[in-house]
Amino acid sequence: MSTAVAPKLDIQKIRKDFPILEQKVNGKPLIYFDNAATTQKPKQVINAISEYYEGYNANIHRGLHSLAEKATTAFEDSRKVFQKFINAAEVEEVIFTKGTTDGINLIANAYGRKFLQEGDEILITAMEHHSNIVPWQMIAEEKGAILKVVPVNAKGEISLDDVEKLITDKTKIVSVVYASNSLGTVNPVKDIAKLAHAKNALMVVDGAQASSHCVVDVQNLDCDFYATSGHKMYGPTGCGILYGKRAILEEMTPYQGGGEMIDNVSFEKTTYNDIPYKFEAGTPNIADVVALKKAAEYIDAIGKDNIMAHEQALTQHAHERLSEVPGINFYGTAAEKVSVVSFTIDNVHPYDAGMMLDAKGIAVRTGHHCTQPLMDHFGIEGTIRASFSVYNTIEEIDFFADSLKDIVAKFS
Ligand code: PMP
């Protein structure tokens, strides 16, 4: 039995930062294994939201009064923190969005509508989340472009050879998930970016799952875009960032018009603001962006390496303990993966398992995880997915494995 945990972390101390973990669910201590859907939030993030509303709520930019200045500074500080967090070359390359879905839609509309032409190709993989499929399908349909798909193997991996073969002179965009939410697979996005650039295609990275589980250095990855969500990295829901290389962002035409994104408006002609503001139309989600900075600082304070080591230990332990469950089938056994364990159990419907686990206080996700084509590929309706975060423990996984054994025993 594996009992390895990253030695530097005091998990019980970390857990105290997350007030929600103290509660009981259905009379049992909450075991929260639905982190790939959204992580819980530390009090540093929660407090930042109320501090903003209690202390300096004001609309940002253009306001001359003290509260507006304070709010603007806090908002723009968050941008600087994220520039460092993803190692963007310039702060203007960080756009605040509603999240990954919003970021990918922005690229599809603001880049795709202007630059895609009939017959152009967009390459994605078979393990993409719907938010990295549907925006491309929509723009492909509008522009007469073609969506191509890199297959996955039985372990839930893609091969670079397949990627290379599928990128042609017509490929304009390659868009790949860094870490799969359904399987946990970590894709070699840096290598894929090289292949894309060799054919002058742009590389888009769906970083929704990666920001708290993988090293993110957009300059090293050499991706052209990186989209991510705050709520999967201990931050609030409804805010995230889109990174884009300056030269590309400057060429793109904004797809949402309104306040903030303009330079000058007249009825005859409107000119647009500079990046990043030309992509931030309207009053943004100020409170949550300000609090999102605290999430990045929280990760940095614990250390991404420490978080990753702890989560890897949890994942390895989960694979070992869950292997004892009769009739279990794992989906996603890639050599490199984040802390996601996805599986089915013979003769137990995922929904039944999910409800029975909930009765024991264990929160997992069941279903297709917004990756229906991937489920179709494996010939299943969905899986049971346990996804771990820094505050989870080996003891919780042991209780989970024992609970699953009980459930299987009831069904047999
Ligand atoms: N991509 C992946 C891999 C995801 O896991 C998710 C969220 N489940 C998304 C994109 C979409 O993120 P959001 O709903 O925060 O926009």
All domains in the chain, ordered by first residue: 11-39+303-411 (3.90.1150.10), 46-300 (3.40.640.10)
- Greatest alpha-carbon span in the chain: 73
What gap in Å lies between CA 127 and CA 66, rounded to an integer? Answer: 48
Q: Find the 39 Cα to ligand 1 centroid distance in Å.
A: 12
Indicate the top mutation candidate among 285, 370, 389 to test ligand 1's pocket, ranked by most ligand atoms within 8 A of CB.
Answer: 370
Check pocket membership of 99 for ligand 1, CB cut-off 6 A. Answer: yes
Indicate the top mutation candidate among 104, 152, 183, 209 to test ligand 1's pocket, ranked by most ligand atoms within 8 A of CB.
Answer: 209
Check pocket membership of 357 for ligand 1, CB cut-off 6 A. Answer: no
Residue identifier of the C-alpha nearest atom 5 of ligand 1: 181
Check pocket membership of 177 for ligand 1, CB cut-off 6 A. Answer: yes
Check pocket membership of 229 for ligand 1, CB cut-off 6 A. Answer: yes
Annotated catalytic, 370?
A: yes
Nearest ligand 1 atom to alpha carbon 237: 15
Give the predicted TM-score (pTM) of the model. Answer: 0.97
Listed as ranges, residues in the chain with pLDDT below 70 are 1-7
Check pocket membership of 187 for ligand 1, CB cut-off 6 A. Answer: no
Q: The dihedral of CA 83, 88, 92, 98: what is its sign?
A: negative
> Helix (H, G, I), strand (E, B), or coil: what is residue 352?
helix
382 contacts 366 by C-beta, under 8 angstroms: yes
Residue 112 DSSP one-character state? I
> Helix (H, G, I), strand (E, B), or coil: what is residue 17?
coil
Q: Find the 101 Cα to ligand 1 centroid distance in Å.
A: 6
Take residue 158 and report the two structure tokens written for it.
């893609």
Cα Rg of the chain (Å, integer): 22
> Helix (H, G, I), strand (E, B), or coil: what is residue 359?
helix
pLDDT at 288: 98
Chain-centroid distance of CA 318 in Å reads 22
Q: Find the 100 Cα to ligand 1 centroid distance in Å.
A: 6
Check pocket membership of 289 for ligand 1, CB cut-off 6 A. Answer: no
Which residues face 342 on adjacent strands? 331, 385
pLDDT at 6: 54
Query: Could you report the per-residue pLDDT of 240-274, keeping only the tens digit for each?
Result: 999 999 999 999 999 999 999 999 999 999 999 99
387 contacts 328 by C-beta, under 8 angstroms: no
What gap in Å lies between CA 247 and CA 200, rounded to an integer? Answer: 14
Per-residue b or e along 301-329, where b marks 16 or more CB atoms closer than 10 Å to that residue's CB: ebebebbbbbbbbbbebbbebbeebeebe
Which residues face 123 on adjacent strands? 148, 174
Q: Find the 319 Cα to ligand 1 centroid distance in Å.
A: 24
Q: Find the 56 Cα to ligand 1 centroid distance in Å.
A: 31
What gap in Å lies between CA 172 and CA 181, rounded to an integer? Answer: 25
Nearest ligand 1 atom to alpha carbon 240: 15
> Helix (H, G, I), strand (E, B), or coil: what is residue 318?
helix
Residue identifier of the C-alpha nearest atom 8 of ligand 1: 37
Check pocket membership of 131 for ligand 1, CB cut-off 6 A. Answer: yes
Q: Which of 206, 241, 207, 244 is nearest to 224 (CA)?
A: 244
Take residue 393 and report the two structure tokens written for it.
């423990």
Indicate the top mutation candidate among 35, 102, 124, 131 to test ligand 1's pocket, ranked by most ligand atoms within 8 A of CB.
Answer: 131
pLDDT at 2: 43
The residue whose two tokens read 């992580």 is 39
Q: Which of 160, 161, 155 is nearest to 184 (CA)?
A: 155
pLDDT at 330: 98
- Our CA angle for 260, 262, 266, nearest 5°, is 125
295 contacts 232 by C-beta, under 8 angstroms: no
Per-residue b or e along 69-90, where b marks 16 or more CB atoms closer than 10 Å to that residue's CB: ebbbebbeebbebbbebbebee
Q: Find the 181 Cα to ligand 1 centroid distance in Å.
A: 8
Q: Find the 55 Cα to ligand 1 centroid distance in Å.
A: 32
What gap in Å lies between CA 350 and CA 348, rounded to an integer? Answer: 6
Q: How many helices (H) and strands (E) does the chain have?
A: 15, 17
Q: Which amino acid is present at 401?
A: A
Check pocket membership of 211 for ligand 1, CB cut-off 6 A. Answer: no
Nearest ligand 1 atom to alpha carbon 231: 15
Q: Find the 168 Cα to ligand 1 centroid distance in Å.
A: 28
pLDDT at 1: 40
| Upper half-sphere CA count for residue 387 (Cβ side, 13 Å) | 29
Active-site option among 214, 223, 239, 370:
370
Question: Rounded to whole angstroms, what are the CA distances from 17 to 81, 155, 261?
Answer: 21, 36, 37
